[in-house]
Amino acid sequence: TGQPGRVAGVFQCMKKLFLSERAGRGRTLEFIRKNAANGLSVANLLAGLSSVLCSLNRQYHHSCWLLLVGFLLDLADGAVARQLDACSALGAKLDDFADFTTFGLATALLLQPQGALEGLLAIAYVMAVFARLCFFSTGIPFTYQGLPCPYASSLLVSTFLLTAGNVTLLRVAAIIMILFMVDRSLYPHDKVLESQLWKKVFYAGGVVAVLFLPAMVASAYCLAWSTSYIIFPFAIWSCTA
């Protein structure tokens, strides 16, 4: 009787170990599901902070590249959160903080303020992003009020790269983007990764351009992308599943 008892004991231990491993795997997968979008927001935040450091060291081309990476990450994190049903108040706050850092502070530093007027313009740009993130609510699902700041940042970054860092032209573009962001006109939620196939392909093309192609090609691609959304938001980018 001792041998069967030992076999049963080993079997029970193996069963408990298997169940515990399966439960642990389930908890791990659930943790990943709940925090996948938060991880993308943190990556966006790190890109923004790194861009700030690059700008402070006058490495503006590196700063621009990081901002374009942040633009792609920002479009992805919302889609991931919705697809995995992992939207939360904490995630929304983290996303807003990442957007403010990347598309507000880091983008404003590209304006390279040297005097009082340039400094006021940089502050005005940051405050426009702050107002856009905190106070503009439409009450309409998947619709923005005022131009989303990632698109304004993408346009400024692309302009900077395509004009070889022409600060005067960049400042003019920044003033225009401020007006678009504080305006209460409605913009659709593009939902690039959750809409028509061509939008997903267009997003994939942006990833390839930013990560693998020359800076001029990537900036031209993102400029066309952001300009099309700014000028023809509903005609082109309104979400149709």
Q: Is the pLDDT of residue 28 over 70?
A: no
Q: Is the pLDDT of residue 176 over 60?
A: yes
Whether 109 and 52 have beta carbons less than 8 Å apart is answered as yes
pLDDT category at 5 given cuts 50, 70, 90 is low
Distance CA 200, CA 198 (A): 5
Distance CA 151, CA 159 (A): 12
Q: Is the pLDDT of residue 197 over 60?
A: yes
pLDDT at 178: 97
Q: Is the pLDDT of residue 142 over 70?
A: no
Name the residue with higher pLDDT: 223 or 96: 223
pLDDT tens across 153-174, in order?
999 999 999 999 999 999 999 9
Q: What is the mean pLDDT of the chain?
A: 85
pLDDT category at 68 given cuts 50, 70, 90 is very high
Name the residue with higher pLDDT: 82 or 128: 128
Q: Is the pLDDT of residue 50 over 70?
A: yes
pLDDT at 222: 97
Q: Is the pLDDT of residue 7 over 60?
A: no
Q: Which H or E run includes 188?
A: strand 186-188
pLDDT at 79: 81
Whether 102 and 126 have beta carbons less than 8 Å apart is answered as no
Dihedral (CA of 192, 195, 199, 204) sign: positive
pLDDT category at 121 given cuts 50, 70, 90 is very high
Among the ranges given (33-47, 100-114, 163-177), the one the predictor scored with the smallest mean pLDDT: 33-47
Distance CA 229, CA 12 (A): 61
Q: Which two tokens stand for residue 89?
A: 């108040």
For residues 157-175, one letter each, b for 16 or more C-beta atoms within 10 angstroms of the residue's C-beta and e for the rest, the string is bbbbbbeeeebeebbebbe
Q: Is the pLDDT of residue 30 over 80?
A: no
N- to C-terminal Cα separation, the chain: 66
Whether 233 and 220 have beta carbons less than 8 Å apart is answered as no
pLDDT at 139: 55
pLDDT at 108: 97
pTM (two decimals): 0.84
Name the residue with higher pLDDT: 37 or 33: 37
